[in-house]
Structure 1
Amino acid sequence: MKKNILFVVLLSSVFMLSCIPKIDIKESSRNQEADDYTEKGKKAFDLGDYESALKYFQRTLEISQTLDNQKDIAIAYNNLGSTLLALCKIDEAEIDFQKSLEINRKLKLSDEIITNLNNLGRLYTQKDDYVKAKEVYGEALSISKTRKNTEQTAFIYNNLGLCELNQNKLKEAREFFINASNINRSEDNKTGFAVNTLNLGNLSEKEKKYEDALNYYNQALNIHKQLEDSYKIAIDLNIIGALYEEMQRYSEALEYFQRAYGINEKLRAKDRMKKDLQNIIRVADILNKKELVQSSQEKLKLISE
């Protein structure tokens, strides 16, 4: 069963945040308004509500254009591109990423350029255009090494690993993931290390080494528990549940899907709750748990109304 590991991996590089200095009261108020919309957009994105995120980021763009804040305009385009990509509107996403990159090149903002290149790389990977993906990742890696930014370097290695993994080049993918994990471990970057661990789990799953995959996924889950990152804990639980389902260990799969639903329910993440309920219904049906199937179907209907 194929899982959306790419989303987990790249979430930390999706967004840019504004740090524009405030000039006067009126402009400060408008800048704050733009920042507020950006935060609302991020929250909506985390909840899987991409349409709302798109609206919030569009408002940020409009305000930034009114103020002629080029850096904020680039930030808004980047965030719009990320949201459009999540909605599988790839061509529109590429346009916004390129607009952001063009501005950041003019402003000579190296870290922001790296983020743009990373996002373009994942876009090209999603399009199966691996030549272009490696090209932009190569440029990002060159800039990152020049700046001695180890966290960004690890991130790029991870994304190159994903590029190889999507081509089923498992040996090359493992090498990139291990390089990334070694850097993140040495830098005590727990978030990055958890991402690498998830991807090593996905790779092991492709190799049908299910116990190894389970070990990696549980490592990531434990890290996210330490970090108290509820969004990622729910994702990890879903990933483990899907692995158990693939292993035909349906009772365990159901337990993990239900745990994921419980977290997403508390977060009021409706889109994620829908997916959780669909998973619960599917596995409960296999286990002939008719009452659970019925109650879950009723919940799904209520959420979908």
Structure 2
Amino acid sequence: MEGGKGIRACSFLFSILLAAVLLLSACSSLPKEQTPTKGKKAQAADFASFGREYFTEGRYKDALTFFSYALHQQILADNREGIIDSYFDIGRCHLELKAFEEARQAFSDGLMLAEKEELVGKQARGKILLGEFYLAIDNEEKAGILLQEATEILPPDGKQYTRERAVVYHDRGVLMRRQGDLEKAEELLSLSLAINRREKAREEEANNLYMLASVASAGRQYGKADELLQEALLIDRALERSLAIADDLYAIAIVAEKRNDDDEAYTSFSQCFMIYQAMERLDSAIEVLYRLSALAEALGDEENASRYEAAAQKLEQRGKRSDDEIE
């Protein structure tokens, strides 16, 4: 038995070391060592802060670079909690970039270390993130199991681990929305919203409102969906979350179409297109242009319908040229 434990311990350490090597080697320009003006943990915190800013703006490759810098400093400081957080942040970037295996590995490594260190909150977060990974690849069964495990890890005292509790309620609500249980989805998302409002977690509150709008829209409650999205938009504007603002406007336009409010749909599509274009999110900008073209055609405006379609095709060619240059 002792020998088995030793083998497992060595295997665990090897997995963590290998993961760190792979993650750090993936970042081609780690900062060179200089005379430090701050401690390593403080430097890691600065890098992570930059990473979060880039992540919020949808600049996931830039965020990944800074989270990798943060991991480097956390490893040098042997800060186990910081290492875990860096793994999770790196995994979130990979997930958004659709590098699914890299995301799964980073989340798993962070969870493994959290379990070794017996950190309840980070164990729950690791399971939540793996649940989000499985949601992203449409494996709802595994996602449900992991989110339930995360719920069970958290102690019944609602005053502890409020952030993790709010996130797991939100993600379980997303899962219920996908599975068509709108009543349960609304119940779980409302529980998350109540926590985030109490904790004044504005970004998470906006995310809750956005998903509650999705539930309302799925239930054909378009007026309610619009109200929830307008509330989310106010928060995201106050926080200057550009990508979230564009996504809110896009959703508002979709709901407006369902309400047969073509003027609102046209205005909101136009606004979100400008943001997507400014952020150089070509795929999203192209999709909006095609929707504007279809809307103009439905309104009998053939000239603008053709203009929007031509603009979309021009952006598609630009994107193709960029891809060719990368290859």
User: Same fold by TM-score, threshold 0.5 exceeded?
Assistant: yes
TM-score, reference length from structure 1: 0.76
State the partner residue of 2:159: 148
Structure-2 change in CA distance of 1:277 and 1:91 (3 Å): closer
Between structure 1 and structure 2, the one with the greater Rg is 2
Q: CA RMSD in A?
A: 3.1
Structure 2 CA distance for aligned equivalents of residues 157 and 94 of structure 1 = 21
Does 2:55 match 1:45? Answer: yes
State the partner residue of 1:17: none
Letter in 1 for 2:291: R
The superposition leaves residues 88-111 of structure 1 with CA deviations (integer Å, 9 ceiling, x where unpaired) of 233321221111112122333333
Secondary structure of 2:52's aligned partner: helix
2:276/2:284 contact within 8 Å kept: no
Secondary structure of 1:270's aligned partner: coil
User: Could you tell me which of 99, 106, 114 is aligned with 2:124?
Assistant: 114
TM-score, reference length from structure 2: 0.71
State the partner residue of 1:192: 204
State the partner residue of 2:251: 239
Structure 1 CA distance for aligned equivalents of residues 146 and 193 of structure 2 = 21
Letter in 2 for 1:118: I
State the partner residue of 2:273: 261
Secondary structure of 1:194's aligned partner: helix
Give the Å deviation of 1:233: 2.1
**Pairing of 1:6-155 with structure 2 (within 5 A):** 26=36, 28=38, 30-142=40-152, 143=154, 145-146=156-157, 148-149=159-160, 150-155=162-167
Letter in 2 for 1:280: L
**Pairing of 1:282-301 with structure 2 (within 5 A):** 282-287=291-296, 288=302, 289=304, 290-294=306-310, 298=314
Secondary structure of 1:85's aligned partner: helix
Structure-2 change in CA distance of 1:80 and 1:195 (3 Å): same
Secondary structure of 1:148's aligned partner: coil
Letter in 2 for 1:90: F
The superposition leaves residues 235-268 of structure 1 with CA deviations (integer Å, 9 ceiling, x where unpaired) of 2112112333455544432311221233456xx5
State the partner residue of 1:19: none
Q: Which has the higher contact order (CA 8 A, sep 6+)?
A: 1
Secondary structure of 1:111's aligned partner: helix
The superposition leaves residues 258-303 of structure 1 with CA deviations (integer Å, 9 ceiling, x where unpaired) of 21233456xx5222x6513430343135413144554565567667
Structure-2 change in CA distance of 1:291 and 1:135 (3 Å): closer
Secondary structure of 2:270's aligned partner: helix
State the partner residue of 2:174: 162
Letter in 2 for 1:203: V
Structure 1 CA distance for aligned equivalents of residues 248 and 268 of structure 2 = 9
Report which stretch shifted further, 96-105 or 226-235. 226-235
User: Could you tell me which of 259, 262, 285 is aligned with 1:276?
Assistant: 285
The superposition leaves residues 46-95 of structure 1 with CA deviations (integer Å, 9 ceiling, x where unpaired) of 33233333333333334433443333322221111111111223332122
The superposition leaves residues 143-164 of structure 1 with CA deviations (integer Å, 9 ceiling, x where unpaired) of 1534623443233212111111
Give the Å deviation of 1:189: 4.3
